[in-house]
Structure 1
Amino acid sequence: MSEVKKIATRESYGNALKELGAENPNVIVLDADLAGATKTSVFKKAYPDRFFDCGIAEGNMVGIAAGIATTGKIPFCSTFAMFAAGRAFEQIRNAVGYPHLNVKIGATHAGISVGEDGATHQCNEDIALMRTIPGMVIISPSDDVEARAAVKAAAEYVGPVYLRFGRLAVPVINDEATYKFEIGKGVLLREGTDLTIVATGLCVNSALEAAEKLAAEGVSAEVINIHTIKPLDEEIILNSAKKTGKVVTVEEHSVIGGLGSAVCDALSEKLPTLTKKIGIYDTYGESGPAVKLLEKYRIDGNGVYEQIKEWMK
């Protein structure tokens, strides 16, 4: 059996920007002194006249991007998720969200899989923060294929978009030849009858692995990939919940305010359903190898499987 291809979605981001640059001269890229890490350096090398390093001044970068957007250009501003959603929150809210400008925020190094950089850089709060901004689209792709498609979809969409990428190389689970990305539409990856697992980002692969383990024990789990957390595809979640009667959400993010909260908001209003949220439980991360951290915080495939089994008892 051949080894599964793995690539970090931040790599996908840089490659997609380069492709976009060739297709659309209106695409502009800004970075906050992290081009090597965010992989916007790929775009910089190809189109240096359309790349701007704003230094370690994330709020200023967002303001510049907002100004550029008013000229008809499509600015992508990039930095780590902690600095994009955290440090520049006010500027995103007031300079981008409030006037609903066409700015794309490429937030890399999200979640605890940042690894050795530790708790200060492991942003588990960004989805929650961005969900509060009216009109903000939030996308958290699961793999390379989805990430590249998401960047292109974001460029075509008119309005603010928050794109969440990771540092860790993750398995490619989508087939590029057949995959179609649509903002606001979830993807049914596996049909099931006993429970629904709704996942986003790298945890989509964890959900699929957990579903395999559950299947070996006679539990049929439906798996849904929610790449767009806002606007949320309520229809696919409600239809599945009606069928299975139990829902589990899985994310590399705090269980407060993220995908789980968005799903619970929809279910509590339209179809009250027994639900379990799996993610980071109201705690900071810590320094360590990314894979080991995913295991410790139980959001790898085996951890998700074990938590579901415990809950179902």
Structure 2
Amino acid sequence: MNYEELIHKTALADERLLVMTAENRALIRNLPGPLGPRFIDTGITEQTMIGAAAGLALRGRVPVVHALATFLTLRAFEFIRTDVGIPHLPVKISAFVPGFLSDGNGPTHQAIEDVSLMRGIPGMTVFAPADEQDMLAMLPAIWASPDPAYLRVNTRPATYQHAPFEMGKAEIVAEGTDITLLTYGMLFEQALIAKDLLIEAGYSVGLVNLRSLKPLDEAAVLDVVKGGSLVVTLEDHFQTGGLYSILAELLLEHELTAKVLPLALKERWYKPGLLSEVLEYEGFTGQHIARRIGERLGDGAHTFGAKTKVVENEFAE
């Protein structure tokens, strides 16, 4: 089953669900016929779409809206905050090509501050699946929730068999005493590679797929911190406002400190290209991640394996 099949099946079972798009049909191109009036394309009007979705939600509907992540979170931010966030309406935002998945596009189309913006809205939930399998596992719970939700859409094929999804719970892939990688979204794929390379080099390595940035599995993160390993926050997002900031806020709240290595975009947009080129140039392949962690631990001489192979992004705009 893919995204389109799941939303179609859900809509047939629940007449409240509506599918909306701002002229971006890559995920839902076959649904206008089967859904009829419950498929609404507003054209290239993200603000209008969010406003209309809020009005429909006020009348008992559950709109699932679709557009490019950068335009939803930037162009329509005020509408999400005011029309959806303040009245706490169950509008579900499916944000297309977030982070590095917008690989072929320049800064205007790069949603690398989206987590920061969306988690700042009171009551908004924020989800970032590791791959398509992870996304399909979490969507039924997201769509059934009464809360507004922001989803970083990820249709990349799974390279790991995920545990069942539970709202607000992280997926503990491995536990380690030397290093623990905390990550979300498409970089989980590279984190798995980095974990294996570091284990081959003799390190005890943990890996946590957070799945949800809000609600955050605070207990899982605090367990990692208290374990004393080097905590690596890995994300295709600005360092400011993303996972590194979330971790800092949590540590301060609990009067804790930790050894932390943030791997994120620091005060810059990324250079566009094929996904493999972006990850290589920006230093986010599994090999680069392992090497950067090794350097932090004083193991700068280790090469950490061969160059990582990356499957290109099928849906780059």
Please identify, of 265-274 and 215-224, the stretch whose mean Cα deviation from structure 2 is larger.
265-274
TM-score (norm. length: structure 1)? 0.90
Write the deviation string for residues 279-305 of structure 1: whole angstroms up to 9, x where unpaired. 222211232111210121122211211
Structure 1 residue 257, shift from structure 2 partner = 0.5
- Cα distance in 2 between the residues matched to 1:302 and 1:45: 46
The number of residues matched between the two structures is 297
Secondary structure at the counterpart of residue 117 of structure 2? helix
Among 273, 287, 290, the residue aligned to 2:275 = 290
Q: 1:237 is matched by which residue type in structure 2?
A: V
Q: What is aligned with 1:3?
A: none
Q: What is aligned with 1:212?
A: 196
Relative contact order (C-alpha < 8 Å, sep 6+): which is higher?
1
Structure 1 residue 45, shift from structure 2 partner = 4.1
- Cα distance in 1 between the residues matched to 2:19 and 2:161: 27
Secondary structure at the counterpart of residue 116 of structure 1? coil
Among 134, 138, 144, the residue aligned to 1:146 = 134
Please identify, of 286-295 and 57-66, the stretch whose mean Cα deviation from structure 2 is larger.
286-295
Q: What is aligned with 2:43?
A: 55
The 5 Å alignment of 1:243-262 reads: 243-262=227-246
Q: What is aligned with 2:19?
A: 29
Q: 1:272 is matched by which residue type in structure 2?
A: T
- Cα distance in 1 between the residues matched to 2:166 and 2:180: 21
- Cα distance in 2 between the residues matched to 1:23 and 1:107: 23
- Cα distance in 2 between the residues matched to 1:247 and 1:93: 32
Q: What is aligned with 1:4?
A: none
Q: Does 1:67 align with 2:52?
A: no
TM-score (norm. length: structure 2)? 0.89
Secondary structure at the counterpart of residue 150 of structure 2? strand
Q: Is the 8 A contact 2:187 2:234 kept in 1?
A: yes
Q: Is the 8 A contact 1:103 1:161 kept in 2?
A: yes
Q: Does 1:309 align with 2:294?
A: yes
Q: Percent identity?
A: 33
Aligned-residue Cα RMSD (Å) equals 1.6
- Cα distance in 2 between the residues matched to 1:291 and 1:118: 16
Q: 1:234 is matched by which residue type in structure 2?
A: E
Q: What is aligned with 1:13?
A: 3
Q: 1:207 is matched by which residue type in structure 2?
A: A
Q: 1:159 is matched by which residue type in structure 2?
A: D
Structure 1 residue 18, shift from structure 2 partner = 1.9
**Structure 1: 5+ residue stretches without partners:** 1-10
Among 170, 173, 186, the residue aligned to 1:189 = 173
Please identify, of 213-222 and 255-264, the stretch whose mean Cα deviation from structure 2 is larger.
255-264
Which 4+ residue blocks in structure 1 deviate beyond 6 angstroms? none
**Structure 2: 5+ residue stretches without partners:** 299-317
Q: Is the 8 A contact 1:145 1:172 kept in 2?
A: no
